[in-house]
Amino acid sequence: MLNTPRGCVGVRIGERLDQRYQTLSNLGRGVFSSVVKAKDTETNEEVAIKMIRNNETMYKSGMRELNFLKKLMEADPDNKKHIIRFQRHFEHRNHLCLVFESLSMNLRDVLKKYGKDVGISIKAVRVYAQQLFLSLSLLRKCNILHADIKPDNVLVSESKNTLKLCDLGSASDASDNEITPYLVSRFYRAPEIVLGLTYDYAIDVWSAACTLYELFTGKILFPGRSNNQMLKYMMELKGRFPNKMLRKGQFAAHHFDSDFNFMAVECDRLTKKEVIKKMSFVKPTRDIKSRVMAASSAGVTEDEGRLLLAFIDFLEKCLALSPDKRMTPKEALVHPFITGKV
């Protein structure tokens, strides 16, 4: 076992952990943890082991993740709600280690491999959408916000027909949400987070919709390079924000003037300096419908055409700027796009 710099975990391949897990390969290293693939010698199954860095902050957040996982497993004993199965935990040289079922790839990999810039079929997106929203319904039942839904945190089975939401490292209890403008990976960050409003389960619905759009089109829906640019892209697509949201948002004044005109921060082409450009959005200039239609192949069957229209309606309802107007997981699961009754 190598304790690499700053409490990282280095594991030698072939090393045995907790006297039962034979390490097979390193799956990746993040800021907070590293993940290894291992063989469970008791069951002969492959597992993924997340090893948390051993400093106090990381250990605490690892324990929080562990408690959320236990709660979710208890609430879904039959494994029907599409959240990664957590098996057990142990400590290895002061590192907290979480043992999960092993899944081969995430949706980012799927897109790279099968949908390079063109996305995957609408029928596949429908199946994935249903499974993703089942996981959201379980999170909601357990009062948990995932707060980092994106293609990288959705794993798929070998056969690609089952998806599981993973990585609860950013999750929180729905009742103690701290207002911070950088929660959730930027492209998937809901407007209420950027504006500094209180937030709830609707942030995960927003991120899930951005993820599904990307799966179908192969393109990121809101590729903003900053929070300011994210707001601009959102308004181009969905029109202006309700004044109520701007009045209440703790960070709204960073982006809007007192008359609620948007202040776009842009880079001057000549001087390369940042300039503020005042903009008022009257109505959207880009729309989801034309972008989804442009991404669909020319030879669409009548069934697929109907499914596409249902998908557009589904996305529109999940991407309402105002979180209280957004579809809930429960409503999403009976939407025609997901039930397939189109």
Q: Which two tokens stand for residue 299?
A: 């030879």
Distances 330 to 133, 134, 135, 140, 312 between C-alpha atoms, Å: 8, 8, 11, 9, 18
Own/partner pairs, 58-66, CB within 8 angstroms, 24+ separation: 58/7, 58/32, 58/33, 59/96, 61/32, 61/169, 62/32, 62/33, 62/96, 62/98, 63/96, 64/171, 65/98, 65/168, 65/169, 65/171, 66/96, 66/98
What is the four-CA torsion angle of 205, 163, 292, 325, rounded to 10 degrees? -10
Q: Flag whether 141 is marked binding.
A: no
Place of tokens 């319904």: 137
Q: Which of 40, 148, 167, 204 is catalytic?
A: 148
Strands 21-29 and 33-40, by their bridges, are antiparallel
Comparing CA positions, the residue from 97, 17, 91, 4 lying closest to residue 50 is: 97
Secondary structure (DSSP) of 135-186: HHHHHHHTTEE----SGGGEEE-TTSS-EEE---TT-EETT-----TT-S-G
Pairing mode of beta strands 21-29, 16-17 = antiparallel
Q: How far is CA 162 from the centre of its chain?
A: 17
Comparing C-alpha atoms, which of 301, 334, 304 is closest to residue 317? 334
The dihedral over CA atoms of 37, 39, 40, 41, expressed in degrees to the nearest 10, equals -160
148 part of the active site = yes
Annotated binding site for ATP: 50
Active site residues: 148
